[in-house]
Amino acid sequence: MVYLEFHFSLRINDSLEDEYYSLISSVPNFPLMGIKDLASFSYFKDYSKDVMLLLLEQFSNIHKVDWALFNTFDELEEEVVKWMTSKWQIKTIGPLIPTTYITKTYNDNGKEVSRIHILKPDYECGMKWLHERDDNSVIYVSFGSAAGVEQEQMEELAYALKETNEYFLWVVRDSEEHKLPKDFKFETLEKGLIVKWCNQLDILDYKAIACYLTQCGWNSTLEALSENDSYTAIGEPNDSCNVY
């Protein structure tokens, strides 16, 4: 909504100095910030005009639609939702996760529901390992299906998990695995499990999970809230603000 707010007041031109340093102050419960401080895809100077037009115009007709459906819920951001509905035809329909995980009422097949996985989950491995852990004893780490982690940050995180001497379940995609410190898997074999992918809702539903370390992508945030899990945020430029 922040991007929509300044979308209608800014124009792409050859000089963006004024807009770049403009302050955003009209969004409820939003700290006073400059446009330059927002997530990197709104950092105008770093992108071509064509890319910025694509990003800015994707919602340019929102004032013409009958309804715009948002994956959030009123109680999560009540003031912002009220502000949105005063400007556009907004309906909140979130959190968009299978009802089974919210009601905790399962059918004869347990929690089986139709799912589409971006990557193939290591389901049996992760579930069996979690089943053997005590309640509130495991740190779950996942940065989603797209976010990348810099080599140095990956190493720092690995050493930090090792130093905690706590159990951890870490989702590390194939494309990221080479960034792990040498012999890390072997050195943490007694305390940690690294999987390539998992069904996150099943993981978060486990009582063994004590803390969820996440990049706070919106889907992950809603899933953690729906499962009443505590989570710790690590900012990632595509999902998060540039100021921490």
Is 70 within a domain?
A: yes
User: Into how many domains does the chain fold?
Assistant: 2
Q: By three-state DSSP, how is residue 140 classified?
A: strand
Structural domain that includes position 155: 119-233
Is 107 within a domain?
A: no
pTM for this entry: 0.75
Above 60 in pLDDT, residue 56? yes
Q: Indicate whether 86 and 130 sit together in one domain.
A: no
Model confidence band, residue 102 (pLDDT cutoffs 50, 70, 90): low
Average pLDDT on 78-104 reads 83
The domain spanning residue 182 has which CATH number? 3.40.50.2000
Q: Indicate whether 146 and 83 sit together in one domain.
A: no
Concatenated DSSP letters of 165-222: TSEEEEE--TTTGGGSPTTHHHHTTTTEEEES---HHHHHTSTTEEEEEE---HHHHH
Q: Indicate whether 14 and 56 sit together in one domain.
A: yes
144: nearest Cα among 209, 71, 233, 77: 233
Is 160 within a domain?
A: yes
Average pLDDT on 179-204 reads 92
Q: Indicate whether 87 and 129 sit together in one domain.
A: no
Is 222 within a domain?
A: yes
Is 109 within a domain?
A: no
Above 90 in pLDDT, residue 194? yes
